[in-house]
Structure formats: structure tokens, C-alpha cells
Amino acid sequence: MKVFIDSNVLLDDFYQRKGAEGSRQLARFCVSSTQHEAWIASHTLSNAFYIVRGHASSKDVARSFIRDLLQWVEVAETTKSDANKATNYGMSDFADALQLAAAEACAADVLITRNTKHF
């Protein structure tokens, strides 16, 4: 099963937000499973780097976060066509539309997010 993970879930543990334990369990599940793969959008990497760097005030911490993430996730390849599809989804947040387009591009079976309002 391909499990597509929205960036808000990935940042839960770093920020120790409410729900962080569930996000950690999801990560452990994907890491330990031979039948389930974790996937993210490519723009999640740059967004997460920017957010973590700003919070930690450290590029080294942000790089470490990205390196750790890349140990257990795959990155969905998206094209101009996928971005064009995202513009037609009618979603209020374009970043969320890009997440959905990336999930479709990698043929994800499920999209995990805490942002149910936008999806």
C-alpha cells in the first residue's frame, strides 16, 4: 500500500504538536513494513526545510530533518501536467491541491492529513 503523507503530519513530531504520537506511529509503521510505502510531495521537502529552519534557527537542524525523512519516504514525481490539474481542483489552498496531485501521481492508496477541512 502506498501511504501519502501530508507535510503537517510530518512536522507533528518535530513541533511536539497534539497528535504527534499518532504521527510517530505512522512513521514507525511505514519504516517497519515491507508492504507499505510512505510517499511525500517534492515540495514538502523545501517547505519542511524552510519551516524547520525558521523554528530551530539552524540550517543544520533543517538538513538533518530532511536527511532523516529521506531515509524512510519516497518522493512523488510530478510534472507540469500534474500542476495544471491542481489548478483545476477548486481547492482553497493551492499547496493542498499540489499535495493531492502528487498523491495521484504516485498512485497513492491513501492520503494521511490532519487538514481534513481542505481535503
Does 71 map to a domain? yes
Does 117 map to a domain? no
* pLDDT of amino acid 115: 75
For the residues 100-115, what does the mean pLDDT come to? Answer: 93
* pLDDT of amino acid 118: 66
Higher pLDDT, 11 or 79: 79
Q: What CATH number should be reported for the domain holding residue 8?
A: 3.40.50.1010
* pLDDT of amino acid 119: 64
For the residues 18-28, what does the mean pLDDT come to? Answer: 78
What pTM was estimated for this model as a whole? Answer: 0.87
Residue 47 has pLDDT above 70, yes or no: yes
Does 81 map to a domain? yes
Does 107 map to a domain? yes
Does 74 map to a domain? yes
The domain total for the chain is 1
User: How far lies 113's CA from each of 26, 59, 60, 63, 103, in Å?
Assistant: 11, 26, 27, 23, 12
Q: pLDDT digit string (tens) for 71-98?
A: 999 999 999 999 999 999 999 999 999 9
* pLDDT of amino acid 20: 79
| Phi-psi label, residue 19: left if phi above 0, alpha if psi -120 to 50, beta otherwise | left
- Range of the structural domain that residue 89 is part of: 2-112
Does 22 map to a domain? yes
* pLDDT of amino acid 3: 93
Does 118 map to a domain? no
Does 119 map to a domain? no
